[in-house]
Structure 1
């Protein structure tokens, strides 16, 4: 592969990063009904102080659309993927200082995963195939998954499953997420397309797919398969946690696609599960109202324990179980953030919240207290 192709995803104009002294406009300034900056949110042993001005970036140099996902690399840097083609990738240190940015090729930049091979970190970037035209209207395009180095050099791309005969002509492919298994296998969640989880080997060669809409047992179906995660909390028995967002639940499968169980998250339109030690964290993209209907400009973060019981809802109401059944959770009376799309948890147990459709605001840092 020639260098021009390897570097096509990286913004070649980036030679240095000039960071303005003033951060992106505060979420609290934009929305006066939000919680004050000294508010402590969360429940039980998972309480946090939000820092809404954590990201020290300039809207002129590094404009934002939606901040979709974030991961941490082996050097402790926080890497964020968004869908603004001036800078798909933003790389921060933990203080919020912008260290680098690159990428202009992903108008539907949505999913971001990280893997380590031979001591080197690699990224898996997912373009979900949705973007905005110049009028601000959405339009469709073909989705794709790219494997790159941390500085944007292309390793390989996974295109439409129709090209290898595993999708019918009327089945759309709009991938939203990836996960990498301990053996290097790649799982692609087609969350805005046909709701399959597609398994490839480490070289991007097809193995199988499962989920979708047409299983004899409806529990094996996925509805808005927005996220997929390798759950390695049991080292001897890793599993897949798949999001079925429209069903307000996670569904757990074996690594070869056999359904195990369902984890209900009533009231919560959860995004991908994020594993940190014994806990599962997730952004909640929408909440329901007291009448049980989804409402826009809502959302929070949820935390589950080793037994997949919800123990905290930062930005939402406290988890309540009755007869061992989780009751519907709602957004807090005053929002802390909107449309929690993803979280990243660092070694200090601080949580970085990426927001979708939140007035172009940068990620919010939740400092553990």
Structure 2
């Protein structure tokens, strides 16, 4: 009897170990097996027509779900995919086929955006942490290189009730660091390459160029003769362009649906829009493809949409996006259980 009991305990132990090591897909099995037709997996128009790959991606450590997502996506030059989560896993690093390489852990928990830059042949991630009042430079193994903690010495951050919630960070070719304070002052704070505060510009405004209502995203666009800042002006529903010194240039795109983030690849720009869709813009910033347009306004910018109510190619609250080199698109929805999908460009 003792021998049988020992065998039983060993079997249970091995069963538990196998369960812990078992990987779950990011998109739940029930969703993958639901009775959808082919058209439910396809979205977009023209040369930017996509098919969603629900089989791409697995959860870390055998977890049943990815965990809450309110952040960004970035892709390195070899095709690894980096995704923010609100969990103790922090930033998750996937290889191109969707398997988890590693999790960066609690020090990278709750990163609100991810910008990936190459410097002297080596790539780094820049991340803003709105709830932790900091921005960080992180290597591709998850080591934090440096941190800018707290707001700069600007009058907007003086007084007893200082509000500072950075939502995006990016770095210019000359090394200057740009931080969008999108959930507080709507300022863009600028630092030297050695992280010394230089100046701030922007602030709140609805009609004036260079003013914002939730400057949620910020990306340095290096495609022109001179680099420009693309500011994702969420509650004004538009993109604005500024010089690196903060001078207003133009508003190339309007009438968006609460844009959160952009990704640039070649001539094209993808925009994640919190109110249930993504769009692709051409070199003139005109909409040429609309992806995943959600017909149910109750699901727009809704953090609580359950997996049972998801549709394969339909968005609920796109928050972060990234093109790969082939213009496949990875999109993260703002979602309480975590939602991330790969959209494969159809050729």
Same fold (TM over 0.5): yes
Say how many residue pairs are matched.
312
Selected match of 1:270 from 242, 251, 259: 259
Aligned to 1:290: none
Aligned to 1:339: 317
Does structure 1 residue 253 correspond to structure 2 residue 253? Answer: no
**SS of structure 2 residue aligned to 1:94:** coil
Q: Displacement, 1:220?
A: 2.3
Aligned to 2:149: 159
Q: Displacement, 1:90?
A: 0.7
Aligned to 1:316: 293
Separation in structure 1 between the aligned mates of residue 331 and residue 154 of structure 2, nearest angstrom: 36
Selected match of 1:279 from 242, 249, 268: 268
Whether contact under 8 Å (1:300, 1:338) holds in the other structure is yes
Whether contact under 8 Å (2:90, 2:110) holds in the other structure is no
Separation in structure 2 between the aligned mates of residue 57 and residue 314 of structure 1, nearest angstrom: 25
Max Rg structure: 2
Selected match of 2:102 from 77, 100, 103: 100
Selected match of 1:192 from 183, 193, 197: 183
Alignment TM-score, normalising by the size of structure 2: 0.81
Whether contact under 8 Å (2:186, 2:203) holds in the other structure is yes
Whether contact under 8 Å (2:170, 2:177) holds in the other structure is yes
Aligned to 2:305: none
Separation in structure 2 between the aligned mates of residue 263 and residue 314 of structure 1, nearest angstrom: 20
Selected match of 1:26 from 28, 39, 46: 28
**SS of structure 1 residue aligned to 2:41:** coil
Whether contact under 8 Å (1:28, 1:36) holds in the other structure is no
After superposition, the C-alpha distances for 1:328-350 in whole angstroms (9 at most, x for unaligned) are: xx99xx76122111111112211
Judged with a 3 Å threshold, the aligned counterparts in structure 2 of structure 1 residues 126 and 36 are, in CA distance, closer, same or farther, namely: farther
Whether contact under 8 Å (2:66, 2:339) holds in the other structure is no
Does structure 1 residue 40 correspond to structure 2 residue 17? Answer: no
Whether contact under 8 Å (1:27, 1:361) holds in the other structure is no
Judged with a 3 Å threshold, the aligned counterparts in structure 2 of structure 1 residues 76 and 259 are, in CA distance, closer, same or farther, namely: same
Aligned to 1:231: 221
Structure 2 unpaired stretches of 5+: 1-19, 295-299, 302-310
Aligned to 1:68: 71
Aligned to 1:207: 198
Whether contact under 8 Å (1:178, 1:189) holds in the other structure is yes
Separation in structure 2 between the aligned mates of residue 267 and residue 183 of structure 1, nearest angstrom: 31
Selected match of 1:303 from 280, 285, 289: 280
After superposition, the C-alpha distances for 1:215-248 in whole angstroms (9 at most, x for unaligned) are: 9x723211100000111121x2211110110010
Alignment TM-score, normalising by the size of structure 1: 0.76
Judged with a 3 Å threshold, the aligned counterparts in structure 2 of structure 1 residues 247 and 119 are, in CA distance, closer, same or farther, namely: same
Q: Displacement, 1:155?
A: 2.0
Aligned to 1:128: 130
Judged with a 3 Å threshold, the aligned counterparts in structure 2 of structure 1 residues 268 and 98 are, in CA distance, closer, same or farther, namely: same
Q: Displacement, 1:161?
A: 2.0
Does structure 1 residue 112 correspond to structure 2 residue 114? Answer: yes
What is the alpha-carbon root mean square deviation over aligned residues?
Answer: 3.0
Whether contact under 8 Å (1:49, 1:366) holds in the other structure is yes
Whether contact under 8 Å (2:156, 2:185) holds in the other structure is no
Greater helix content: 2
Whether contact under 8 Å (2:253, 2:285) holds in the other structure is no
Separation in structure 2 between the aligned mates of residue 33 and residue 245 of structure 1, nearest angstrom: 36
**SS of structure 2 residue aligned to 1:223:** coil
Q: Displacement, 1:41?
A: 0.5
Judged with a 3 Å threshold, the aligned counterparts in structure 2 of structure 1 residues 220 and 164 are, in CA distance, closer, same or farther, namely: closer
Q: Displacement, 1:31?
A: 12
Q: Which moved more, 1:341-350 or 1:250-259?
A: 341-350
Judged with a 3 Å threshold, the aligned counterparts in structure 2 of structure 1 residues 232 and 25 are, in CA distance, closer, same or farther, namely: closer
Separation in structure 2 between the aligned mates of residue 306 and residue 27 of structure 1, nearest angstrom: 39
